Structure formats: C-alpha cells, structure tokens
Structure 1
Amino acid sequence: MHQQSTEQEVISASMPLESSHMSVATPPKYIYAAGQLRPHFTNLGLEKESEAATQLLNLKPKDYYDLFTYKDRHNNQPYRYLAEQVSWILSIDNQDAYVLLPNSNDELNEFINTLEVSDKHNVADEVLSVVVGVLGPVAPDELSNSQPLPMVRCQHLYHFTTAELMEELSVHNTTTTSIRDVLTALAPKPNVGASDHERAKNFLAYRYATIYAKTAGLAFSKDESGTEDKDSDQFLENLETKRSNNSPGRTIIDVIFTYQRNVSGRQSTYYTSVDVTDLYPFLHSNLMDYVPSS
C-alpha cells in the first residue's frame, strides 16, 4: 500500500505536464499572445526542494535556468524534474494572464530557454515570449497561485528581447520611433491574444516586417511622376480591424492602416488580411491599397 501511495504522489506532483488538467471545448479557442514567462512553485515542498538543489550547486537563489539544465558528469539532468513539476505563468502588461502547459518536451525546453534570456538580458530590455496554443479551463489554485487564470496548452513558443526585435526590424531601414508606433497600435495594452482580432494583430506585430517598412516611408519616397516626394515623411494615424467575408468557411481579419503625411496631411490607407481560422495564423493577402466597400 505504501508503494502505491508513493506512485500516486509522483503522478500528482507531475500534473502540470499531464493532459488531465486540460479539457478543451469544441470548437477549440486559440491563443496568440506575447508576454513574460516565469516558473511558479505549486507547493512549499517543491519550492524547498529547489532551494536545496540551488544551494548544493552553489547557484544564485533564482537561477532556475542553470538549475533546470544542470548536467552531472554522466551528462544527466538530475534537476529537470523540477522544471517538469513547476507551473508556468505568462504575464501580459505586468498582469498574470495564463497558466501555460507545454504540449511536449520541446515546448518545455523553450520555456526553460526563456529563463536564460531573462537572466542575462539588459535590465532595461524586455523579454517577450510569444505563445501559440489552445485555451482550456481555469487552472487549479496550486497552478495559478490562487488566481482565476485560464490554462493554455502551448503548441509553440518562441522568445526574444525588445532590443533583438528592434535590431531585426531595423534591417528594413525602419526607425526606432516608427517601430514603436506600429507596435503600440498593433499590440495595445492589455492584449491577451484571445480574440480573432487580437490574434491577427499580434501575428502581424511579430511576423510581418513589411508593416514597419511602410511606416518608415519606404513606399512613399516617390510621387506619381516618379520624382522624389518631399512630403514622404508620414506616421500611422489609425489602425482598425474588420472581419472579411471574402472567403466563406474561413475566418479572415482585415487589418487596415491609415498613414498621414506630416506636411500636407494627405492620408493613404492600406490593408492586409490574416487568416486566423486555425491554430497558426497566416498571411492571407499582402499589404495593398485599401478601397472601402460601398
């Protein structure tokens, strides 16, 4: 009887990775969100277990990345079980939003790798984890730190710092100011990436660099005659989203950008469409001139 009880305790302790926590409604509701990920210890015993291991390895108290990835002389990872048994909480705009359940060890590895970036990045630079997953029910109290947080079965996660994002987008000759303007418009706070419109905007914010190039004025450097346009400097004046009816059976979101010239005040409107029908959004149409329907 004692052995059976012990086995049950082990199973219960590893439940954050078990599918029994996750009962997805039909049809599934998808999440495409960006935030900060952190481990949460589901009980005091697990937290003390982590503290003891940290002291044994002479690590800093919250050096979870080095703890979870530590390898002994046999190339084993004796403390990975801690990463498998903690809960992983995603906060958005400094508010806890979701409990993430890794779909497999690949996603768990990405969770752990996020901690390395968080530990080593510049304090003034923000680390963002982009989560693609399926929304589930509200998490048990022990997983959510007694908050009413929904669970998300994470199918994919990638992370970057805001400095890395700026550097990548700057390749397109885009200024830091224009990048931040578009990010602010596409990913307004708070944005939990749960609605079709939020998922479309988050996809564009982190996957479609052409938007930033447009805002930098690259597409407006010449006038109709082909000569240099002195009024090419412009800013993103407005952004809106609309559900498209152009593809029956699919969920298409049109994201409409209105740019305004600094000197003349003349406006130009463009749109791009994102298909958000399935778990992974994708570009349905590239950025093009927008002509409102009558």
Structure 2
Amino acid sequence: MGKARQETEVREQQPHDMDAQDTPAAACGVPEPAPDLEPVPPAQTTASFVYAIGRVEPRFPSLAVEKEVAQVIGREQTAGLTDRQALRSVLTDRSNRYLARQMCWLFTVEGLETYILLPRDPTDVDLLIDALRPEPSVDDVDIVIGVRGPIAPPEACNSLLVPMVIFDQLYSFTCEDLIRELPRPDGQTPEGFRATAEEVFNQIRQVCDNAGSMDEHRALNYLVVRYPAIYARAVEAHAEESALSGVEVRPSPLSGTRSVMDVIFSYVNRRTDFAEKYFVRVDVSEEFPFLVSKLATFYDR
C-alpha cells in the first residue's frame, strides 16, 4: 500500500499538459494542428502611374505571328510600299484586326526599349495602329498615360523583358503639330515664335529623357505637352536677352495627403548673368496630372 501511495503522489506532481511527443496524434505520426494565428492583412500596394514621352514601335512577338503577317501581306497589293507602309496597310484593314491584337507594341524612350503597351480598352488598339506612321520622322512624338504593371512574360514580345503598361490614353503627333497649336503671344511673329518654341521643346525634351514613372518626371512631361505658358515665358525671356538655363523638379512644401511637385525654370541673362526663376505646381497624385498653380516668380528659401 505504501508503494502504491508514492506512485500516486508522483503522478499528481507531474504537469497535466503533455509534450507533443506524448500526444496520441504524435504517437500515430500525425502532426499537431498549427495554433490559431491572427489573420495577416493584405499588403497595401500603390499603383505606379506612367506619363511618358517616346515612340511606339510594333514588334513580332513570335515567329508564327511574323509568318502570318507575311502571308497576309503577300495577298495584298503592296507595290511601291515600304515594309512599314505595307504593315500599316494590313493592320488598318478591319478584317486583319486580329493581327494588330497579336502584335507586340513597344514603347521606346530615346531608342531604349522601355515598356510593352497593352490597351485597357481593347478598342484602343486603333490608337496603337495610328501611332504607326507610314513615313516616320525624327519629330514624331507619342505620349502614353497609364498604369505600370509587372515585367512582361518572355512570350509576350519575343523574350523581351520590360515592364508592361496598361494605358488609358495615347497621343501621337509631331513637334510641328504641337507648336502650331500653341497660342502665339501678342507682338510675336510666327517665325520668331516657332523658332523659340521649337528650341524650348527640344531643350526640355532632353531634360525629360526619362521613363515617365517617377512623380518628378510625370510632372515635367505633363507640362511639356499640356502647358503653353512655359513656351510663352521663353519667348519673353528671349526678348529680355535671357535664355532657359535649367529645369528642376522638387516636392512642393504644400504636399500633404497628395503628391504635388514644384517645377522650377531658371533663366539667365546673356549680358549680366543675372538668374531669374519661375515655377509652376503640378499634382501627380493620380493617373492624370493637373495644374495646381500657374507660372509665377520663384524665390529661393
């Protein structure tokens, strides 16, 4: 009896919780269920918007598509047409629209392969075809506005690995078209304004050589094609013997819940080297940038 009482006391002193290796499930080789965990909220992702200046170029995504296009061209009357003109002739035919949807539409910036374009609305494939000029020129300009996606799979464009952009708008024009639509300041001759506007456009385009995905670049690209006041100011600067010497983009002190950029244009007098600055504010919080404040004198703080 004394020995049985001691064994009972020892069992009572042992903890009631058994180790995992002592549980029936563990003994049978079945793993214990994982303890309940708090649900992890999904990661918050912010859309990466694109407002880029470049050119649209068609590419064959595969050998099969290339051969299919060649067969269709072979059935058409293409005498006297270049390869590019023949391709455009085929793609503009409604009966061959399936080929336009199969093509890889590449967006290049200064000749560098930057994005693969995908229309959000399938009917916007017409905008891509319109960007295929029959006679390309160095003055050709394409503006793409959309949302940047992931890197394209290898089969999307013949193993070309660049980001995709789902675009909502695509503008195609020439530098001459842009300058023609700019309002000419009073007292300025058409020839004088054209020369100044073309010089400013080319100057700013050199500054704008970017992928158009950063807020700073989107603000500047927007102003180049949508804000005539910067060209009018350049005309006034030339009349004052000054010239555009630099462009700077920085976050505005007024930025709070929205992303607002200050775009600062510097002009230097050719005689005195006196520098004068003007700035304009652009909101780039969403896909379509817009003007917050008009061009005004900028004072360094």
Runs of 4 or more, structure 1, over 4 Å off, are: none
1:74-223 matches, cutoff 5 A: 77-115=94-132, 118-121=133-136, 123=137, 125-169=138-182, 171-172=184-185, 173=188, 174-177=193-196, 179-185=198-204, 187-188=206-207, 190-217=209-236
Task: Give 1:178 deviation, angstroms.
Answer: 5.0
The answer to whether residue 91 in structure 2 is matched with residue 68 in structure 1 is: yes
Partner of 1:238: 246
Q: After superposition, give the CA deviation of every residue in 1:246-268 in whole Å (9 maximum; x if it has no partner).
A: 14211000001111122232222
Conservation of the 8 A alpha-carbon contact between 2:208 and 2:221: no
Deviation at 1:155, TM superposition (A): 0.9
Determine the C-alpha separation between the residues in 1 that align with 2:56 and 2:205: 21
| 1:187 shift after superposition | 4.6
2:261 — aligned with what? 253
Q: Which amino acid aligns with 2:231?
A: Y
Equivalent position SS for 2:141: strand
Structure 2: runs of 5 or more not aligned: 1-43
Gaps of 5+ in 1: 1-24, 71-76, 222-231
SS at match of 1:216: helix
Q: Deviations over 1:165-196 (max 9, x none)?
A: 23334744434245324542355263111110
Q: Which moved more, 1:159-168 or 1:106-115?
A: 159-168
Output the CA distance in 1 between the equivalents of 2:77 and 2:201.
44
Q: Could you report, residue by residue, the CA deviation over 1:219-239 in whole angstroms, capped at 9, with x for unpaired residues?
A: x86xxxxxxxxxx12101221
Q: Secondary structure at the match of 1:120?
A: coil
Amino acid at match of 1:245: P
- Quote the Cα distance in structure 1 between the aligned partners of 2:229 and 2:258: 24
Residue 47 of structure 1 is matched in structure 2 by 66
Alpha-carbon distance in structure 1 between the residues aligned to 2:291 and 2:264: 14
Q: Percent identity?
A: 30
Give the distance between the partners of 1:69 and 1:88, measured in 2 at CA.
Answer: 15
Deviation of 1:40 after TM superposition, in Å, equals 1.5
| 2:27 paired residue number | none
TM-score by length of 1: 0.78
Deviation at 1:284, TM superposition (A): 0.9
User: Based on CA coordinates, which of the two structures has the bigger radius of gyration?
Assistant: 2
Q: Is the 8 A contact 2:204 2:224 kept in 1?
A: no
**In structure 2, the residue corresponding to 1:135 is in which secondary structure?**
strand
- Give secondary structure in 1 for the equivalent of 2:258: coil
2:152–2:161 Cα contact (<8 Å) kept: yes
1:264 corresponds to which of 248, 257, 272: 272
| Cα deviation 1:11-35 (Å, max 9, x = unaligned) | xxxxxxxxxxxxxx82100000011
The alpha carbon displacement at 1:107 in A equals: 2.3
2:293 aligned with 1:278: no
Work out the CA distance in 2 between the residues paired with 1:89 and 1:137.
15
3-state secondary structure, aligned to 1:57: coil
Whole-angstrom distance in 1 between the partners of 2:286 and 2:91: 33
Letter in 2 for 1:263: R
The 2-side partners of 1:30 and 1:276 are apart by 9
- CA shift at 1:269, angstroms? 1.1
Q: Check the 8 A contact 1:133/1:155 in 2, yes or no.
A: yes
What root-mean-square deviation, in Å, do the aligned CA atoms of Structure 1 and Structure 2 show? 2.1
> What TM-score do the two structures reach when normalised by structure 2?
0.76
Residue identity in the other structure for 2:135: K
Distance 1:170 1:283 in 2: 18
* Cα distance per residue 1:35-58 (max 9 Å; x no partner): 111221211111111111111112
Does the 8 A contact of 1:273 with 1:286 survive in 2?
yes
Distance 1:78 1:112, change over 3 A: same
